[in-house]
Amino acid sequence: MPELEESTAKTKPSFDPNILQDLLPLYYKRLFPHKQFYRWMSYGRSESSVFSNREFSFTLQDDIYIRYQSFETQQELEREICAKVPFKIDIGAVYNIRPKDHRGSTAIQPVQRELVFDIDMTDYDDIRTCCNEANVCQLCWKFMSIACRVLDEALREDFGFEHLLWVFSGRRGIHCWVSDKSARHLDTAARSAIAQYLNVLISGGEGTASRVIIHDEMHHSIRRAYRIVAPLFEEICLVDQNIFGKPEGVRKLLALVQDTSVRAELEKRLKTVPSDSKSVWKEFVAYFDELRMSGNSNRYRRLKFIVEEVILAFTYPRLDINVTKGFNHLLKSPFCVHPKTGKVCIPFNPNIASKFDPTDVPTIIDLLKEVNAFDEKNTVEGEENRSKIKDYKKTSMFKGTVIFEEFLRKLEQTFKGKAAALTDMKMEF
Active site residues: 55, 118, 120
3-state secondary structure of 109: coil
For residue 421, which phi and psi values (nearest 5 degrees)?
A: -65, -40
Supply the angle between the helices 306-315 and 277-293 in degrees, to the nearest 10.
Answer: 150
Bridge-based pairing of strands 331-332 and 164-168 is unpaired
> Strand pairing of 54-60 and 88-95?
antiparallel
Give Cα separations from 397 to 368, 371, 375, 411 (angstroms).
11, 11, 16, 21
CA distance 271 to 280: 9
Q: Which of 40, 63, 49 is nearest to 333 (CA)?
A: 40
Name the 3-class secondary structure at 6.
coil
- Within 13 Å of residue 31, how many CA atoms lie on the same side as its CB? 31
Report the alpha-carbon distance of residue 157 to residue 281 in Å, rounded.
Answer: 32
Strands 88-95 and 64-69: unpaired
CA 412 – CA 342 distance, rounded (Å): 31
Count of residues making up the chain: 429
What are the φ/ψ torsions at residue 175 (nearest 5 degrees)? -125, 145
Phi and psi at residue 312, to the nearest 5°:
-70, -40
Q: Please check whether residue 55 is in contact with residue 99, taking contact to mean a CB–CB distance below 8 angstroms.
A: yes
What's the distance, CA 369 to chain centroid?
27
Please name which of 393, 401, 412, 410 lies closest in space to residue 335, comparing C-alpha atoms. Answer: 401
Q: Cα–Cα distance between 407 and 204 in angstroms, integer?
A: 38
